């Protein structure tokens, strides 16, 4: 079944395409914005800006450390650079520079980590960004955004550009269904309650929001009302929304296309433990690298589907009953 089909979500677009359109828009509207890429403009979709504004676009080549440092220098000179590449390349080859030149200096630089998660499929584990949120999570000044659909991706690009300070934006190649109307409000640090429910809460980000909505519909068939929260900002995390969900529903499942260790779920668990401990279950990647394959097959093999969320929801409801 197609992602979001059970929840009635129809049209879908690749988030990298949406990023390319949104980036061109902010470049058109803000003369301080410049774009840097690591010879991957056709994959990250920065090529649209390069064609329209060649004087404000810079291909640094396959040299991620230099890419970050040049972008940091531009930020220090008062420009607003978008530093773009695959998240795996930026974090494996340029982490030291991101930490020293951007994060510690708290520069106004924006970083696109494209092709996050496992859904780029046949390109294989060397290009899959499955540890990106954990690594960027170790940089305390950096805002972390993980949009879930084309609307929130488009709005996230503008919000990141307008925010003063370093931002990491996760993108992906997979087509994601539209969850929200075009006028959906997007505020950094404020989660979106996508579906109401009082029996349990499913907190997700990225593509897993649509999967969570599919799971919620399946659970509803058995009379289970699941609240679904889109935690599109991992830092600053919306402690209020998480605590409210724990108090009102008494059970939480998290779902992410990322390693469980150091990912969204562990951050949510910390908030829950500090404010309102309730039974929790987690959907994400175990301690493993992922092989090449068709994206749908990989999601199924590594237990990142709506059925896996549904199973964890039933499991946490049983635990909720035992602790009631």
Q: What is the DSSP string of 54-102?
A: GGGEEE--S-HHHHHHHHHHHHHTT-EEEEEEEHHHHHHHSHHHIIIII
Shortest CA distance to 132 belongs to which of 159, 172, 162? 172
**Domain 192-323, CATH 3.40.50.920 — does that match?**
yes
Phi and psi angles of residue 281, each rounded to the nearest 5 degrees, phi first:
-135, 160
Shortest CA distance to 238 belongs to which of 229, 228, 247? 229
Q: In the prediction, which pLDDT does 323 show?
A: 64
CATH number assigned to the domain covering 12-177: 3.40.50.970
Q: In the prediction, which pLDDT does 123 show?
A: 80
CATH 3.40.50.970 occupies which residues in the chain? 12-177
CATH 3.40.50.920 occupies which residues in the chain? 192-323
Instruction: Please answer whether residues 256 and 263 qualify as being in contact, where contact means their C-beta atoms are separated by less than 8 angstroms.
Output: yes
Q: In the prediction, which pLDDT does 232 show?
A: 98
Stretch 48-54: mean pLDDT: 96
Residue 47 a catalytic site member: no
Q: In the prediction, which pLDDT does 173 show?
A: 86
Structure tokens at 290: 């992922």
Give the Cα separation of 39 and 215 in Å (integer): 39
Stretch 105-125: mean pLDDT: 91
Q: Is the model's pLDDT at 114 over the cut of 90?
A: yes
Give the Cα separation of 281 and 252 in Å (integer): 7
Q: What's the mean pLDDT when you consider all of the chain?
A: 95
Torsion sign (Cα): 204, 210, 211, 217 = positive
Instruction: Please answer whether residues 145 and 156 qualify as being in contact, where contact means their C-beta atoms are separated by less than 8 angstroms.
Output: yes
pLDDT band of residue 10 (cuts 50, 70, 90) is: confident
65: how many CB neighbours lie within 10 A of its CB? 16
Contacting residues for 159 by C-beta, under 8 A, at least 6 apart:
145, 186, 187, 188
Indicate the pTM of the whole model. Answer: 0.96
**Secondary structure (3-state) at 272:** helix
- In the set 5, 28, 64, 322, the catalytic residue is 64
């Amino acid at each position: 079944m197609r992602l979001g089909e059970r929840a009635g979500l129809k049209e879908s677009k690749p988030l990298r395409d949406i990023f390319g359109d949104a980036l061109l828009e902010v470049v058109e509207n803000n003369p301080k914005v410049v774009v840097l890429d690591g010879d991957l403009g056709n994959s990250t979709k920065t090529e649209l800006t390069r064609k329209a504004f060649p004087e404000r676009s810079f291909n640094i080549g396959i040299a991620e450390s230099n890419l970050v440092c040049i972008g940091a220098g531009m930020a220090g000179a008062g420009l607003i650079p978008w530093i773009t590449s695959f998240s795996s390349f930026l974090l494996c080859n340029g982490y030291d520079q991101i930490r020293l030149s951007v994060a510690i200096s708290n520069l106004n630089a924006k970083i696109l980590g494209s092709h996050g998660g496992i859904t780029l499929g046949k390109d294989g584990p060397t290009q899959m960004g499955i540890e990106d949120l954990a690594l960027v999570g170790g940089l305390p000044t950096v805002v972390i955004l993980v949009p879930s659909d084309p609307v929130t991706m488009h709005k996230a690009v503008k919000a990141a550009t307008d925010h003063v300070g370093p931002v990491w934006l996760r993108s992906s190649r997979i087509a994601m269904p539209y969850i929200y109307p075009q006028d959906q409000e997007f505020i950094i640090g404020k989660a979106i309650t996508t579906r109401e429910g009082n029996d349990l809460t499913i907190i997700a980000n990225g593509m897993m929001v649509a999967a969570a909505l599919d799971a919620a519909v399946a659970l509803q068939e058995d009379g289970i009302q699941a609240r679904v929260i889109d935690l599109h900002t991992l830092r600053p995390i919306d402690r209020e929304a998480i605590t409210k969900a724990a108090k009102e529903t008494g059970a939480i499942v998290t779902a992410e296309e990322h390693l469980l260790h150091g990912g969204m779920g562990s951050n949510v668990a910390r908030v829950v433990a500090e404010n309102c401990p309730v039974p929790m279950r987690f959907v994400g990647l175990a301690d493993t690298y992922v092989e090449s394959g068709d994206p749908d097959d990989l999601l199924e093999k590594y237990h990142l589907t709506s059925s896996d969320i549904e199973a964890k929801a039933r499991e946490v409801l049983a635990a909720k009953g035992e602790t009631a």
